Amino acid sequence: MPRLDLSVPCIMGILNVTPDSFSDGGRYNRLDAALHHAERMVVDGADILDVGGESTRPGAKPVSEAEELDRVIPVIEALSVRFDTQVSIDTSKPMVMREAVAAGAGMINDVNALRAEGAVAVVADVGVPVCLMHMQGEPRTMQRSPRYHDVVTDVRDFLLERARACEEAGIRRQAIVLDPGFGFGKALDHNLELLRQLPVLCATGYPVLVGISRKSMIGALTGRGVEGRLAGSLAAALLALEGGARILRVHDVAETRDVLRVSAAVCEWHGTGEGGKGESK
């Protein structure tokens, strides 16, 4: 099982095997289409493939455990055989987590921050890295007038509390990633403040994942539909990198990889090799 290396920022490519995800619902819910898209993302430079079988867009309807397993397990099994790239399972259901890891997933990405009964125990047992995301409310209602005392403090405190609960249950600190949950129970001003103050979350010492790709906040700022949000998504990705994000969860892998290459050259993330310091005079 590939090791999750966050010594440099990495790209998590989104692979939704659902009929109703906000950006690509229905495109990859056949196994052959999912594998073709996964191969494209691997070639384009994805470090992680995040497989999701239940849409978490605003207003999304819940999916049964059996249906979610039917959607994701064949895909994860096939990805694990064909590629060396790390596979992540995007789920909030403990049984799906367990079965996905048995099928080859090496990471769990939970928008519910392991709050489902038994979820923390499953992750502690299977021993893979986990991403804990902040969400106010739940997908069907989360965008109905979200309110915060202070969004950055509230999100940070929630994530640290969940991280402590995980560590107390035996999950290694080094295996925990935090995600502020852009667009999950947050208005535009909340999202912008979280991105502006991302260094506050990164200062917790846990690696931070940012998923802004093609989201409604990009549409609100640019006035563009989902398919026209590439430039805005790349701008947000660069800001997230500058704020300290270690994982970028994106739809557009090749373009985001170019952002990382340029940023790496300027910021010297790769030492004094290509893109490193010039000789002093």
DSSP class of residue 108 equals: E
Neighbouring C-beta atoms of residue 166, cutoff 10 Å: 22
- CB burial of 207-238 (b: ≥16 within 10 Å; e: otherwise) equals bbbbbbbbbbbbbeeeeeeeeebbebbbebbb
Catalytic residue among 71, 93, 249, 257: 249
Contact 101, 126 (CB under 8 A): yes
Q: Is 148 helix (H, G, I), strand (E, B) or coil?
A: coil
Give Cα separations from 221 to 81, 102, 189, 236 (angstroms).
41, 41, 11, 11
Pick from 239, 179, 208, 147: which is nearest to 56 by CA? 179
Residue whose C-alpha is closest to residue 51's, from 88, 9, 82: 88
Say if strands 48-52 and 107-110 run parallel, antiparallel, or are unpaired: unpaired
Active site annotation includes 82: no
Q: Are 29 and 70 in contact (CB under 8 A)?
A: no
Q: Which residues contact 184 (CB under 8 A, 6 or more apart)?
A: 56, 111, 133, 134, 135, 136, 139, 142
Catalytic residue flag (residue 246): no
Chain centroid to CA 21: 15
Q: What is the DSSP letter of 208?
A: B
Catalytic residue among 215, 229, 246, 257: 215
Q: Which residues pair with 107 in a beta bridge?
A: 88
Residues annotated as part of the active site: 215, 249
